[in-house]
Amino acid sequence: MRSRGMIEGAVAVAGFSALTAILTYPLAFQLGSVAYRPDAADGQFSIWNVAWVARALLRDPLGVFNANIFHPERGTLAYSEANLGSGLLAVPVYWATGNAYAAHSFVVLLSFLFSALATYYLIRYLVADRLAAAVGAIGFAFAPHVFAHLLHIQLLWTAGLPFGLLMYHRLVDRPTVTRGVALGIGVSAQLYLCAYYGVFLVLVVGAFAMWNTCYRRLWRAWPFWRALVVGAVVSVVATLPLIIPVLAFQRSTAFVRPVESSLLFSANWAAYFASSATAHSWLLAYLPRWNEVLFPGFVVLGFGALGLFAGTRSQALRETTLTYLGLCVLAVWASFGPAAGLYAWLYAAFPPLMLMRAPSRFGVVALLTCVVLSGVGMARFSWRTRWPGLAGAVLLVAAVTEHVVPLAFVPPPGPHPAYLRLAALPTGPLLEVPVYSHRAQFLRARYMLASTIHWMPLVNAYSDYEPPAFQRRLDIYGGFPSHDALRELARDRVRYVLIHLDAFDAQGRPALESGLREFAADLQPLYADSDTRLYELVSYADP
């Protein structure tokens, strides 16, 4: 029996690895040589984030939250999603290559593979059907929604949801301390990989525990409650390296997202029919404006409908069907945001949601429920045909074909000589000009990506939260070179200034060059070409 399980696991790993390579081609074959939209700010931020964590874990693990942004602030990795899990997984590739693009791409590929495997084993456990599990794994791991967020490394990590639920179902069926530990590990792993999905998993496990308690009458099932408590304790303890810095950041800044801010990031009904897959592109012409990509696909929808019909009539599958149907309704409802009611209640009752702003991401939970229900449908009706092998092959091909998304990978730009010059200099804080205003703050992400070449502390950067001290000095920095700007930079012991002349318009560039001549005594040239200047701040005395 164990050997058969090992063979099944090996086949699943090989099959889903091949499928990952095919559906993300040519990423797996040109690791570090191609990138998806390397000019997009969210993608630049993700690549920097993964590389920073991987590098810090190799060089200074205790200082991982002191990222090289917003000098002289500390704990700046907590200003956005920390992505500690992605950075940890990237360590081997970053250690071997030093290539931020390769490290990031490796983690992207792992996210698809792990999600497919976790979903496969969840459905396999619930319905005991390999084909249903394989089709469901394809439907969830390679959902159009995931490809639509290829720039957001944390949103690719859907694997913890099916893995955590698999651990929960195993626990409720046979509660033991060991299974409680496994559940705690699953929840904490998802929190490290994506805080959004980790919070969702906590909510889902809590809802399932209440449902199973009522459905199975587990009020006095002490082994069940003991295992749940063990899982909760393990999850909290294992996540402390993430929780402590985030709580410290929240206490020091009182940062919360008002519930009203989530209105712009709430799903609408059209989102559940929108898809980035080629097979679904014709649907978009019939939709009003959508604000998310959440269509589960025709294969999943069709068998999901069959699952609802047959699962409620099957004694063996009724509990699973009702459990995931209820979760689907709640997840869709919450994804519509505060205007629909449920999310507003959750926001008030569950403090972690105060740090988040995108109710539409509950749609991922709805997608998972759909593939589970489709697994119920396949298991109930499969395969009453004279050629079950052929029918299964056709269904697998249909599922894969339906999830092909057109992707354009391009070679990333090579390192600019000015950044290579910086990499050879002693470490010191760096200001890049233009500083960019609040309206153009996303443009600072390119400075962060470029810092993976030299790793100097950056004065100006981009994140979900910007420290008030930086915001107060933003206009002063933007006026560089000036007495005020030089005074502030000297106070913070900023050592280097890199100026991108080509980013200034026809009126701004002559004024900038005039200022550089005026303050030439304070600026030692280190590199220059037609569009770039690199200086070291050597002296400044108030006039």
Identify the residue whose tokens are 């250690």.
95
DSSP per-residue codes, 214-237: HHHT-TT-HHHHHHHHHHHHHHHH
530's tokens: 């037609």
What are the two backbone dihedrals, phi and then psi, of residue 53, each rounded to the nearest 5 degrees? -65, -45
State residue 541's pLDDT score.
Answer: 54
Statement: residue 392 has pLDDT above 90: no
Token pair of 199 as six digits: 């919070």
Q: Residue 498: beta bridge partners? A: 432, 534
Is the pLDDT assigned to residue 312 strictly greater than 90? no
- Angle, to 10 degrees, between the axis of helix 222-253 and the axis of helix 195-216? 150
Structure tokens at 454: 């030299």
Percentage helix, strand, coil for the chain under 3-state DSSP, each rounded to 5: 70, 5, 30
pTM comes to 0.95
Backbone angles phi, psi at 474, to 5 degrees: -60, -45
Instruction: Report the pLDDT value the prediction gives residue 314, as an integer from 0 to 100.
Output: 84
Cα 29 to Cα 27: distance, rounded to the nearest angstrom: 6
| pLDDT value of residue 315 | 85
Q: Provide the pLDDT for residue 526.
A: 97
Q: Which of 330, 353, 350, 354 is nearest to 342 (CA)?
A: 330
pLDDT on residue 381: 74
Distance CA 143, CA 139 (A): 5
What does the CA dihedral 67, 70, 74, 78 come to, rounded to 10 degrees? -60
How far apart (Å, rounded) are the C-alpha atoms in residues 319 and 437? 54
Is the N-terminal amide bond of 26 cis, ω within 30° of 0?
yes
CB of 463 within 8 A of CB of 76?
A: yes
pLDDT bin (cut points 50, 70, 90) of residue 310 is confident
**Which distant-in-sequence residues (6+ apart) come within 8 Å of 447 by Cβ?**
432, 458, 460, 461
Q: What is the pLDDT of residues 501-540, one digit of tens each?
A: 999 988 889 989 999 999 999 999 999 999 999 999 987 6
* Greater model confidence, 314 or 274: 274
Q: What is the pLDDT of residue 382?
A: 57
* Whole-number pLDDT of residue 150: 96
pLDDT at 542: 57
Q: Is the peptide bond before 92 cis (omega within 30 degrees of 0)?
A: no
Residue type, 358: A
Q: Strands 523-528 and 532-537: what pairing?
A: antiparallel
Angle formed by the axes of helices 318-335 and 298-311, to 10°? 130
Q: The dihedral of CA 213, 214, 215, 221: what is its sign?
A: positive
> Mean pLDDT over residues 285-308, rounded?
94
Helices (H), 383-534: 388-402, 417-423, 445-454, 468-478, 483-491, 508-518
For residue 345, the model assigns a pLDDT of 96
pLDDT digits (tens, 9 = 90+) for 47-71: 999 999 999 999 999 999 999 999 9
Tokens describing residue 420: 């290579």
The span from the CA of 312 to the CA of 194, in Å, is: 33
User: Cβ of 332: how many Cβ atoms within 10 Å?
Assistant: 22
Each residue's pLDDT tens digit, 467-490:
999 999 999 999 999 999 999 999
Residues 46/104, Cβ–Cβ less than 8 Å = yes
Q: How many residues does the chain have?
A: 543
| Residue 385 reports pLDDT greater than 70 | no
How far is Cα 237 from Cα 265, in angstroms, rounded to an integer? 32
Average pLDDT in the chain? 94
Quick check: 384 pLDDT over 80? no
- What's the number of CA atoms in the CB half-sphere (13 Å) around residue 397? 6
- For the stretch 129-142, what's the b/e string if a residue is b when 16 or more beta carbons lie within 10 angstroms of its beta carbon? bbbbbbbbbbbbbb
- pLDDT tens per residue, range 321-378: 999 999 999 999 999 999 999 999 999 999 999 988 999 999 999 999 999 999 999 9
Q: How confident is the model at residue 437 (pLDDT cuts 50, 70, 90)?
A: confident
What is the C-alpha separation between 382 and 376, in angstroms, rounded? 10
**φ and ψ at residue 97, rounded to 5 degrees:** -115, -30
pLDDT at 6: 87
| Residue 86 and residue 54 in contact, taking contact as beta carbons nearer than 8 Å | no
Q: Which 3 state secondary structure label does DSSP give 120?
A: helix
Task: Give, in order, the Cα–Cα distances in Å from 100 to each of 32, 39, 45, 463.
Answer: 8, 15, 11, 19
